[in-house]
Amino acid sequence: MVMAILEQSKIPLFHTLQKHVEKKAQSFHVPGHKNGMIFPEIGKDAFRSILPYDLTEITGLDDLHHPEGAIKEAQDLTADLYGADKSYFLVGGSTVGNLAMILSACKENDQVIVQRNSHKSIMHALELSGVQPIFVTPLYDDRTKRYSLIKEKEIIETIFKYPNAKAVILTYPNYFGNTYDIKSIIDAAHQYQIPVLVDEAHGAHFILGKPFPPSSLSLGADVVVQSAHKMLPAMTMSSYLHIKSKLVDIHKLEYYLQVLQSSSPSYPLLASLDLARYFLANLMESDINNICRNVSKVREVLKETELWTLLPIEENVDDPLKITLHIESSEKLNMIVHLLEQFGVYPELTTTNQILLIHGLGEYIDIAKLAIIKKELEKQLKNKSWNDTIQEDDIYVQPITELPMSYSELKTYDTKWVSWQEAEGCIAQESVTPYPPGIPFLLKGERITEYHIQTILTLIKNGRHIHYQGKDLQSGIHVTKWQ
Ligand SMILES: Cc1ncc(COP(=O)(O)O)c(C=O)c1O
């Protein structure tokens, strides 16, 4: 259960929309579907209940860019629940929140300390704001079997080394729900009056308390962005941004939110943020216990098998809703995912050696069916052998790196498309990002190494879905030739 001061049983924005819908008003305003009256017949049934709520800034429905009524009330309730000075509803995902957060806190050429394994929206924000990033790279973690180990000491030492940095930009938790001692970093940054900006896209539910890790806002972070749509029952793209800071200019933040967000934000998304906050605020201890019991049952079914290793979780450190299956062979992993999907079980993401399942904040999984599916998988894959066991090679990663040139200098160079044979040593003019999780493997502005090339070709061979700008990643990439 979460603590709040305001009356959290209210759902002001949702109720305001509901009252308007009940009026069955005549629409002489946008959107063009006119409360769902004009819509392709084939989609009418599917969209019937939602279209009347897809309204716009008419009298009584407030305005996201200058909220004074129901939207303000809903945002105030959210700030109250999360313990923020102010909370904002976002309709462009955490992507828009990360962009606004960084653009408002940093100016061109500011040094900022940032985790190298950040989501691409953070990397885009660095580029757009023209800052000088100092990247801190996570190390290999035997516990998670990924490069996910955040060395707090390393980040704190980096803060001591760059005391004039204008922001520390962190991701907490990572996609797989693992956290670290963020408080020690926040405290160190605040000693130098450096604001800590947190991409908490996967942690909107952390205010529920144990067994979930603590929320970074409660530990002193200055600005926190959360994809409500990822872990709360909110609609895709709906997110929160919270600020609790004397170090970040709130007016600048509001300015950038206006620059980046649509002037016609979706009311169903905004209302779903109001409903998600209401849902979270009103979860009882017994509800949380039931959810956790259900997760334990799922974990119980998934352990003890030759199919995979179920990665353990630590209370208060790892999000129990994230269930990770580790598999030593990508050939085997692909086969398992294929079979799971054939049986109607769709995971959140797969890497070369892990499958991530995300449990929701409810009891909705058919445990008995899951057990049958697992048995079926065991039967089908029994005695199969796999050739491509992945060896965790000892890749040397530099713990702290800077880009070889500033973003503004990078813009002044011509961009050329080169084949992979010619790419080594060039500066990448496009990022290469396996998606999900959306963390660039090669960053725009980074010098391309042989290791980058080999890994990208392996990712392509393994059929990974990759975001990039060029036309044919298999053959080459856009670069700047620069020594
Ligand atoms: C860590 C992290 N940050 C930010 C984002 C972007 O969030 P959204 O999809 O809400 O824009 C994602 C999306 O996967 C993410 O994993």
What are the pLDDT digits (tens) for 53-102? 999 999 999 999 999 999 999 999 999 999 999 999 999 999 999 999 99
- CB-CB contact of 87 with 242 (8 Å): yes
Residue having the nearest C-alpha atom to atom 9 of ligand 1: 93
Ligand 1, atom nearest to 237 Cα: 10
Ligand 1, atom nearest to 436 Cα: 14
- Ligand 1, CB within 6 Å, residue ranges: 93-95, 119, 121, 171, 175, 199, 201, 227, 239, 436-438
Quickly count: other Cβ atoms within 10 Å of residue 461's Cβ: 10
The residue whose CB lies within 8 Å of the most ligand 1 atoms, and thus the one to mutate among 224, 230, 358, is 230
228 CA to centre of ligand 1 in angstroms:
10
Ligand 1, atom nearest to 96 Cα: 11
DSSP 245-264: -SSS-HHHHHHHHHHHS-SS
179 CA to centre of ligand 1 in angstroms:
16
- CB-CB contact of 94 with 227 (8 Å): yes
Q: Check whether 389 has a pLDDT greater than 90.
A: no
Closest CA to 139 of 124, 127, 150, 154: 150
Task: Report pLDDT for 390.
Answer: 56
Ligand 1, atom nearest to 175 Cα: 16
pTM above 0.85, yes or no: yes
As a 3-state breakdown, the chain gives helix, strand, coil percent values, each rounded to 5, of: 35, 15, 45
Q: Check whether 32 has a pLDDT greater than 70.
A: yes
The residues, ordered by sequence, that sit 6+ positions from 250 with a Cβ below 8 Å of its Cβ are: 85, 86, 243
Q: Check whether 476 has a pLDDT greater than 50.
A: yes
Average pLDDT over residues 465-477: 88
- pLDDT tens digits, residue range 253-268? 999 999 999 999 999 9
- CB-CB contact of 148 with 174 (8 Å): yes
The residues, ordered by sequence, that sit 6+ positions from 135 with a Cβ below 8 Å of its Cβ are: 114, 115, 116, 400, 401, 402
Q: What is the mean pLDDT of the chain?
A: 94
